[in-house]
Amino acid sequence: MIPETVGSLIAQKYKSAKENDHLHFIETESKAIKDNDSGMNFVISYTPSLLKKPERADAQKDGTDPFEKPEPELTILEDLNEDGQFKLLLNKFPVIANHTLLVTKEFKHQNTALTPPELMVAYKLLCTLDKTESKRHMVFYNSGPQSGSSQDHKHLQMLALPEDFVPFQDNLCAGKPHFLPDFKTEPLQDDKVSFAHYVLPMPEDSDSVDEDLMAMCYISLLQRALTFFQDWTNEKPNMEKSYNFLLTKKWICLIPRSRTQAESLEIGFNAVGYAGLVLVKKEDVFQKITEKPELINDVLLECGFPNTAGTKPTEYHY
Ligand code: AMP
């Protein structure tokens, strides 16, 4: 069982870690903008502190696993679900207060698919925090070399969404009941958005969500992403499978990824970018995209794949 007090445990730990310099956080400027072409809302944060954050290459050079023996000052719970499977840590380089990591106790690789218990504990954590903290939360998982992940030890991440922020997935799912895709019904995809994304509304009644349902949702979306990689093997034969997974109480979403960093603009993304929370390290890039929000959809596409809304699956698909 996840303790009902998990939200206050996170907040207390975060406060003392921040006061005692156990984590590195600076956020200088955030701006809410809308791209009228795609209808996507964005919060753009100019965050020079990200320059201090280890990138995948730095983390690999270092070779150590920061999640094997995490710093006690960053450890919120040694055994989150009292089943010996997960620990809950603070992110050492948070982009937002209370940014939390849900880490497997035993080493598993970040390239492995999410298991039903991993999906379920993430969902339960969301339910507990949304109820007790009166904020909406999002869990995300960056998997594969082009997904924007930097650590190989399996970890999901969790943060509160900015107040009143409406990710495009909310509008896509608004008023739609939960369903599972099949041969005739594809996951939802907004045809105004540039990049491929697969979304399912979650059931309104959280009591009806169990491991089986979570697994069916996730696998059906992952299957679409795998089909996507299969379709692209001629053009990009050495492509490694990478994707971002995003989960809120309202929807579940998967984004196939082609690259971490855009070339046209000095900017990179992990899962949060594909919810509309864009982190920028360079001031000139911040200026450019706040003046011209349509640019963000171009770079999100550059790091993903083209939208496939309306495309019918064929017999060759997974
Ligand atoms: P990702 O980059 O998606 O693989 O997520 C890994 C996260 O772990 C990053 O957001 C880092 O900020 C964070 N991180 C790196 N080193 C540590 C550490 N020693 N303790 C806690 N979090 C860390």
Question: For residue 182, what pLDDT is reported?
Answer: 87
As a whole number of angstroms, the distance between CA 254 and CA 141 comes to 10
pLDDT band at 95 (very low <50, low <70, confident <90, very high): confident
Q: Which residue minimizes the CA distance to atom 17 of ligand 1?
A: 92
**Distance from Cα 310 to the centre of ligand 1, integer Å:** 37
Q: Cβ neighbours of residue 87 under 8 Å, at least 6 residues apart? A: 67, 70, 75, 77, 78, 79, 80, 103, 105
Is the residue at 272 inside a domain?
yes
**Distance from Cα 268 to the centre of ligand 1, integer Å:** 16
As a whole number of angstroms, the distance between CA 93 and CA 34 comes to 27
Question: For residue 265, what pLDDT is reported?
Answer: 92
Quote the percentage of the chain above a pLDDT of 70.
Answer: 92
Is the residue at 316 inside a domain?
no
Mean pLDDT of 283-294: 93
Is the residue at 230 inside a domain?
yes
pLDDT above 60 for 77: yes
Is the residue at 317 inside a domain?
no
In tens, the pLDDT along 189-214 reads 999 999 999 999 999 999 999 999 99
Task: Write out the residue range of the structural domain in which residue 80 sits.
Answer: 5-310
Active site annotation includes 155: yes
Count of structural domains, the chain: 1
In tens, the pLDDT along 127-178 reads 999 999 989 999 999 999 999 999 999 999 999 999 999 999 999 999 999 9
Is the residue at 125 inside a domain?
yes
Q: Please identify which of the residues 155, 178, 197, 317 carries the catalytic annotation.
A: 155
Q: Which residue minimizes the CA distance to atom 15 of ligand 1?
A: 92
**Distance from Cα 233 to the centre of ligand 1, integer Å:** 31
Q: Which atom of ligand 1 is nearest to the CA of 270?
A: 3
Q: Which atom of ligand 1 is nearest to the CA of 70?
A: 20
Q: Which residue minimizes the CA distance to atom 23 of ligand 1?
A: 92
Is the residue at 318 inside a domain?
no
Q: Which residues line ligand 1 (CB under 6 A)?
A: 53-54, 66, 70, 74, 89, 91-93, 101, 142, 149-151, 155, 270
As a whole number of angstroms, the distance between CA 199 and CA 193 comes to 13
Check which CATH number belongs to the domain holding 155 and give it: 3.30.428.70
In tens, the pLDDT along 38-50 reads 999 999 998 876 6
Q: Where do the H-state alpha helices sit in 152-276?
A: 168-173, 211-231
In tens, the pLDDT along 226-257 reads 877 777 777 777 777 899 999 999 999 999 99
Is the residue at 132 inside a domain?
yes
**Distance from Cα 92 to the centre of ligand 1, integer Å:** 6
